[in-house]
Structure 1
Amino acid sequence: MSGSEGSGPVRVLVVDDDFMVAKVHGGFVGRTPGFVTVGVAHHGAEALERAVELRPDLVLLDLYLPDRSGLEVLDDLRAAVPGTDVLMVTAARDAETVRAAVRGGVVNYLIKPFGFEDLRDRLLRYAAGREALAGEQDADQSAVDRLFAGAPAAPPPAPGTRTGPRASLPKGLSGETADLVATALRAADGDLSAAETAERVGISRVSARRYLEFFTDSGRAEVRLRYGSAGRPERRYRAV
């Protein structure tokens, strides 16, 4: 993980030989809470130059580049900018390529074509992993598990309840969406309303409200009321 955890949005360099695809992926990054596209490159050599210049936290790296393989670029990035992470985005799906990318240290591997939700999910999980050890001198097992799982820690179960991954989620709520809502809350500069959370995560306002209320009831969020000039007060949520 990069050394700038907790110091602002995750800075991303997008590398793809297709100009339109690079533009689309850069837009996906910009729509994801807590992320910003700081540069784009279309060749392997350009990718390395831009990475050294910009020192991004994360590179979205295509495998098929005009001048060299993305796996070769991955090795060079590891040597030139060791504090930068790499998420491979490619149409290559053969097992050996995937294994080579994992050996090279990629934080995730996303097969093209994919939509905004697919990339957003992986970016938010990456952000959750970054936050697991942010500002810590030593790590306990819970933080290490969150780092490698790329997901926020679940609240401790109440006495007598079932244990296990997301066992305390009420019926109708999914663990994956709960992770996204939790990450959006933590990435927010201040508190969020249900409508704002829904827009950031890509779900309905009613669904966002259910997750936010669950987090409030389980001690993972706090709520306050904002009173306007007229009408009902707005409920605002903040991660705790």
Structure 2
Amino acid sequence: MDDDFMVAKVHSGYVGRIEGCTVVGVAHTGADAVEQARELRPDLVLLDVYLPDMSGIDVLRALRTGAPDDPSVLVITAADDAATVAAALHGGALHYLVKPFDSRALSEQVERARRLRGRLAGLDRAGQEDIDRLFGAGSTRLPKGLTGETAALVERVLREHGGDLSATECAEQTRLSRVSARRYLEHFVDTGAAQVHLRYGGTGRPERRYTWAR
């Protein structure tokens, strides 16, 4: 939701182009956002802070009641002061994007919200590893044989590349062996920090391609 009609239209267009996503409603006031969320039960709400009738932080608190079916909330705003960011964090926002941002940044966070909901839906009981992944702490608990310094190097290369990388390409940029690069890449996939897809072509096994997901 956004009080600016044109901005709301642009952001709706971004979301509408993400595969598997549907825009179910658009609101331009805080009260309308709360009402629509209760009626439409969306999985994710895009929320501005500056609204004509109330603060977006108050809307966030109204939406995040603690119920299992509460929508995830992604704050998208021009507000960049630390107090507002802290209020959004403590209010339960999934993430916080400062305007202006591009469609890719928004797409990454929408995909993240979808992954989190999928993981929660697939759990009966949660082990510590499951909880670490949900809360984004998995990448700080490295498996035996992996180091924080090298993990940070692989993360930086994957983040800054902008597209997808194979283990071989990552090894070339980090000066690691292909086997070592792949171990770190697969660790990031396991913790939800990276995504992997298969590229088919020619003969032999399909190539695994990695993309930073956060």
- Asked whether 1:97 is paired with 2:81, we answer no
Question: Is the 8 Å Cα contact of residues 30 and 36 (structure 1) preserved in structure 2?
Answer: yes
- Asked whether 1:118 is paired with 2:92, we answer no
1:69–1:153 distance in 2 versus 1, CA, 3 Å: same
Letter of the 2:163 counterpart: I
Question: Is the 8 Å Cα contact of residues 129 and 138 (structure 2) preserved in structure 1?
Answer: no
Cα distance in 1, alignment partners of residues 160 and 21 from structure 2: 18
Question: Is the 8 Å Cα contact of residues 45 and 67 (structure 1) preserved in structure 2?
Answer: yes
SS, match of residue 66 in structure 1: coil
- Alignment match, 1:135: 122
- What whole-Å deviation, never above 9, does each CA across 1:135-169 have from its counterpart, x for those lacking one? 21111121111111188999967xxx434487399
1:54–1:172 distance in 2 versus 1, CA, 3 Å: closer
Question: Is the 8 Å Cα contact of residues 129 and 149 (structure 1) preserved in structure 2?
Answer: no
- What whole-Å deviation, never above 9, does each CA across 1:174-195 have from its counterpart, x for those lacking one? 1x489xxxxxxxxxxxxxxxxx
Select which of 146, 149, 163 maps to 1:162.
146
- Alignment match, 2:49: 63
1:177–1:126 distance in 2 versus 1, CA, 3 Å: farther
Cα distance in 2, alignment partners of residues 33 and 152 from structure 1: 27
- Asked whether 1:41 is paired with 2:27, we answer yes
- What whole-Å deviation, never above 9, does each CA across 1:6-43 have from its counterpart, x for those lacking one? xxxxxxxxx00111111111122123344332211111
More strand by percentage: 1
Unaligned runs of 5+ in 2: 171-177, 190-195, 210-214
Cα distance in 2, alignment partners of residues 133 and 152 from structure 1: 19
Select which of 176, 194, 203 maps to 2:163.
203
| TM-score, structure 2 normalization | 0.67
Cα distance in 1, alignment partners of residues 149 and 49 from structure 2: 34
Question: Is the 8 Å Cα contact of residues 14 and 107 (structure 2) preserved in structure 1?
Answer: yes
1:143–1:50 distance in 2 versus 1, CA, 3 Å: same
1:53–1:156 distance in 2 versus 1, CA, 3 Å: same
Cα distance in 2, alignment partners of residues 147 and 80 from structure 1: 16
Letter of the 1:45 counterpart: A
More helix by percentage: 2
Letter of the 2:5 counterpart: F
SS, match of residue 60 in structure 1: strand
Cα distance in 2, alignment partners of residues 166 and 132 from structure 1: 28
1:90–1:150 distance in 2 versus 1, CA, 3 Å: farther
1:27–1:92 distance in 2 versus 1, CA, 3 Å: same
Letter of the 2:47 counterpart: L
Q: Alignment identity in percent?
A: 44
Question: Is the 8 Å Cα contact of residues 17 and 65 (structure 1) preserved in structure 2?
Answer: yes
How many residue pairs get aligned? The number is 189
Unaligned runs of 5+ in 1: 1-14, 179-201, 227-231
- What whole-Å deviation, never above 9, does each CA across 1:51-78 have from its counterpart, x for those lacking one? 1111001110111111221122222223
Cα distance in 2, alignment partners of residues 88 and 57 from structure 1: 14
